[in-house]
Amino acid sequence: MNRNYSFHGNNHHEMELAHGKLHVYANEEIFQSFHSNMYEMADNNLRIPRNQYMSYTPDAHIGVGTCIGTTAVWNMRDGCVSPSIVGDDIGCGMRVHTTQLRKQDIQDKAVRRDLIAAIEKYVPTNERTNTNYADIEIMNVVRNGLKGLPARYIPDAQWLTHVEESTFSYDHAYLEQLPPKIRRNAHGQLGSLGGGNHFIEIQVLEISGSQKHLAAQWGLFDGQVVVMIHSGSRAWGAMLGREYNRILKQAMHLWGVSNPDPNLIYAPIASQEGQTYLNLMYSALNFAVSNRHMIAFGVQEGFREVFGSGLQMPVLYDLMHNYALQEFHRNQPMLVHRKGATRALPPKHFMNAPAYKATGHPALIPGSMGTSSYIMVGKEEGLKNFYSICHGAGRARSRKATKELVTVDQFQQSLKVGTEEEILVNHPSLQTILDECPQAYKDVDQIIDSIVGASLAEVVAVCKPMAAIKGI
């Protein structure tokens, strides 16, 4: 495939592909690691009519139909929506809660083991185990998001305001088109972690020297214990995604529309199929933000078992990295798809949540077990990438390849097993989660260097892992 590129400086590469331009934000080391099939996948995406913009962040890697780490934009008036550029785990995202605890409070490994055990009482980590929130009506949640939860699950108003959105509004009539099996399978999953790369991590902060004032405004301090949560919409989003990939694929066939990649599915926004998918996608976003909320509720219950019932865990922020959302750019409404990409709005941007209007909101970027995660803030220059940054480290190798190439001993070394600084995990055998070891991922420090060097965002705090809870 023909491709040329120009370098704009600040880790910004502009690729001229056969069907349009791809912007790549990566330092030289990361840029050189991108495989040619990633550009082929981008070119297939650019065949979708009337694309306004497309980019990769440095964590980009091959996905189904579209690379994870993609931002792609169409005009709402005449553009397209693509389930493939949303991903199956619709609304998957990050959440961070703060505490007034300090590192010394959890330094003792026995305390951390107690925390892990207590949290697992309230947050199921086994795919076959349901939660016990019998008083939560799932349909209220998918219609109204956090506002559909009973009041007893809202510890304080901040849990509703320090989020990208507490409720995603849409036409609830579209819910009648959902197969009953989606509702059945999602029942009992609200507040459960899920498997794969989802996690609950207990971390300690190191504040960036240049951002101490902003960190203080956000209630962050050196040595502070925080909890980072990564999860999504569970069966609701996964089954909805698969169902509408199938429906839209059939529609494309009837329309006579094709693409070299049969896994790349899309429809005009204005079409019946496009409108149905968009409206139902918002139901999955409501499930996802509510799921992370209820996981956090369970985490707080676990912390209170160990540290007392008076312990408070304010939410710092909750955001998504798999979705398509109408946003206003260039003085017009546009549908911004982010598949494995995080929105990072700068200070005073009108789309910020009211609590973060003045400062810009926290952008939450996970690393991997054994490596740091990051709390960042967007910059004005991020406009060039529609205010998108990375969503994590990004996989460097597949799960199968990781199991073939990495040993349990190497995994243990990366977790500092046997030392006072050991990162504890909830699995007695690391073999069961070997495909999620740090060696499966890119160097997160290089990813962050790429973002900072591209002037898309700045680091506010580094989050050092102390304990990780993974699902199976």
Separation between Cα atoms, residue 454 and residue 457, nearest integer Å: 8
Out of 12, 13, 361, 391, pick the active-site residue.
391
HSE, side-chain direction, 13 A CA sphere, residue 314: 12
d(CA 315, CA 293) in angstroms, rounded, equals 9
Q: What token pair was written down for 375?
A: 């709390």
Structure tokens at 248: 């839209």
- Contact criterion met (CB below 8 Å) for 303 and 118: yes
Structure-block tokens of residue 37: 């099939």
Residues 6+ apart with CB under 8 A from 462: 205, 206, 208, 372, 373, 374
CA distances from 150 to 82, 137, 294 (A): 34, 9, 11
Write the DSSP assignment of 372-408 as a string of letters.
-EEEEEE-GGGGGGTTEE--SS-BSS-HHHHHHH--H
Contacts of 337 (CB under 8 A, 6+ apart): 70, 71, 72, 73, 74, 81, 82, 85, 86, 323, 324
Tell how far CA 405 is from the center of its chain: 27
- For residue 391, indicate whether it is catalytic: yes
SS3 at position 231: strand
Query: DSSP of 312-360, one letter per residue?
Result: ---EEEEEESEEEEEEEETTEEEEEEEES-EE-PPTT-TTS-GGGTTT-
Q: Are 214 and 356 in contact (CB under 8 A)?
A: no
Two structure tokens written together for 237: 């989003």
CA pair distance 120, 109, nearest whole angstrom: 17
Handedness of CA 32, 33, 35, 40 (dihedral sign): negative
The span from the CA of 62 to the CA of 17, in Å, is 17
DSSP state of 152: G
Active site residues: 391
